[in-house]
Amino acid sequence: MSPHVDLSRAVGHEARRRGPLYSRLAPPVHDTLSIDDLRVKDTLLGLLDRLGWLDWALRQRDRRRYRRDRQSVARDEAFRAEGAPDGLALPPADLIYLVTRQFSPLAFFDSGVVGGGAIRGVLDDHGVDIAQLGAILDFGCGSGRVLRQWRGLDRVRVHGTDYNQTLVDWCRSNLAFAEIGKNELAPPTPYADGQFDLIYAISVFTHLNEPLQHAWMSELTRILAPGGHLLFSVHGPTRLDILDEEERERFDRGELVLRHQGYEGGNLCSAFHPETYIRDVLCCDLEVVDYIELGATDASQDVVLVRKSPARS
Ligand SMILES: C[S@@+](CC[C@H](N)C(=O)[O-])C[C@H]1O[C@@H](n2cnc3c(N)ncnc32)[C@H](O)[C@@H]1O
């Protein structure tokens, strides 16, 4: 188990440079939906769920809540007006919501810094210097929240891919340092066997059903170089509080727990992974190098680091 990365330092630099706007650690984004959001059986939300409008309805509700918080809106407008500290464009609010379930560009930016720092920290702990790798892939890159952290890595070929065309278009137009691909909800990708030394997927396996998870694990293994690493985040034992009794029993038996199948790829579909399921089922063909509880602090998720055998083609 890795020691936790000192994430406060990553944001603290900006806090010191730019004053009170940054004077706190970034809150986690794309947090799990609350029990009220997810256990919608008899309510109006339940009806919207059956009609397939639940995602839309939750977005409207979250937008109303956000707009009522005038202080945050003013802070976010000031942040947008000044521009992101990394000099790159900030996505429009709707594209921020699509990947983080909240509208704040400041939280989007800060949490990306924290997320990038966490990935670097986990890799460093295992002797991998991301700056020395040949090619990396952000699978499910969204609107580039974490991807943008790698702009300074001049020696590395930085790739991102997502199944959402709008997000892909935004990244292609605004993150020119990276090569952005578009895939479908299910594999394959056009990438060559063994193309990447590192693939990471933050808050992506958390939104896929079981067959899709297995299909993607095979595909990502195919495009990973022998000896290469795959880092992905999951809702693990640290999110047990969210599960109801019946779900918890299944989780304790080592089963993958899924909510809102039918919304695969979107934030509503939520997967909860017991560690044994990861080790014995999902990643049984890979070496599990580390499992770090809440390693993805930016997303309140656990981190799994696996490695493809150097002997495997
Ligand atoms: C919660 S968002 C996280 C985005 C980004 N990884 C981040 O941390 O900011 C989940 C992302 O996974 C993408 N996604 C979901 N299923 C996918 C799939 N099968 N292939 C590629 N991207 C997928 C979504 O479009 C979305 O951008």
According to DSSP, the β-strands at 270-272 and 257-259 are antiparallel
Is 158 exposed, middle or buried, given 0-12, 13-18 or 19+ CB atoms closer than 10 A? buried
Per-residue pLDDT at 215: 97
For the ranges 14-18, 40-44, 215-219, the maximum mean pLDDT occurs at: 215-219
Cis peptide leading into 27, omega within 30 of 0? no
| pLDDT one-digit tens code per residue, 155-172 | 999 999 999 999 999 999
Per-residue pLDDT at 300: 87
Residue closest via CA to ligand 1's atom 9 equals 145
Per-residue pLDDT at 113: 94
Burial 59-92 (b: 16+ CB within 10 A, else e): beeeeeebeeeeebeebbeebbeeebeeebebbe
| pLDDT one-digit tens code per residue, 245-258 | 999 999 999 999 99
Span 280-286, mean pLDDT?
97
d(CA 34, CA 228): 36
Per-residue pLDDT at 227: 98
Per-residue pLDDT at 30: 55
Q: Scanning the structure block, which residue is given the tokens 């993150």?
A: 175
d(CA 273, CA 312): 26
| pLDDT one-digit tens code per residue, 287-303 | 999 999 999 988 889 99
Atom of ligand 1 nearest to the CA of 140: 22
The pLDDT confidence band at residue 16, using thresholds 50, 70 and 90, is: very low
Residue closest via CA to ligand 1's atom 8 equals 202
Instruction: Give all strands of the β-sheet with 157-162 in edge-to-edge order.
Output: 179-182, 157-162, 135-139, 196-201, 224-234, 301-307, 287-296
Q: Is the pLDDT of residue 173 over 80?
A: yes
Q: Determine the residue type at 208.
A: L
183 vs 313, which has greater pLDDT? 183
Per-residue pLDDT at 110: 94
Write down the mean pLDDT value for the chain: 87
Atom of ligand 1 nearest to the CA of 112: 9
Q: Is the pLDDT of residue 49 over 90?
A: no
Mutate to test the pocket of ligand 1, among 110, 148, 163 (most ligand atoms within 8 A of CB): 163
Contact 162, 183 (CB under 8 A): yes
Distance 17 CA to ligand 1 centre (A): 32
Span 295-312, mean pLDDT?
93
Ligand 1: residues within 6 Å at CB? 30, 99, 140-142, 145-146, 162-164, 167, 183, 185, 202-204, 207-208, 265, 267
The pLDDT confidence band at residue 10, using thresholds 50, 70 and 90, is: very low
| pLDDT one-digit tens code per residue, 79-137 | 999 999 999 999 999 999 999 989 999 999 999 999 999 999 999 999 999 999 999 99
Is 241 exposed, middle or buried, given 0-12, 13-18 or 19+ CB atoms closer than 10 A? exposed
Residues in Cβ contact with 260 at an 8 Å cutoff, skipping those fewer than 6 apart: 38, 49, 54, 268, 269, 270
Q: Is the pLDDT of residue 38 over 80?
A: no
d(CA 204, CA 214): 13
**Domains of the chain (ranges, CATH numbers):** 7-307 (3.40.50.150)
Residue closest via CA to ligand 1's atom 4 equals 142
According to DSSP, the β-strands at 179-182 and 157-162 are parallel
Whole-number percent of the chain with pLDDT over 70: 86
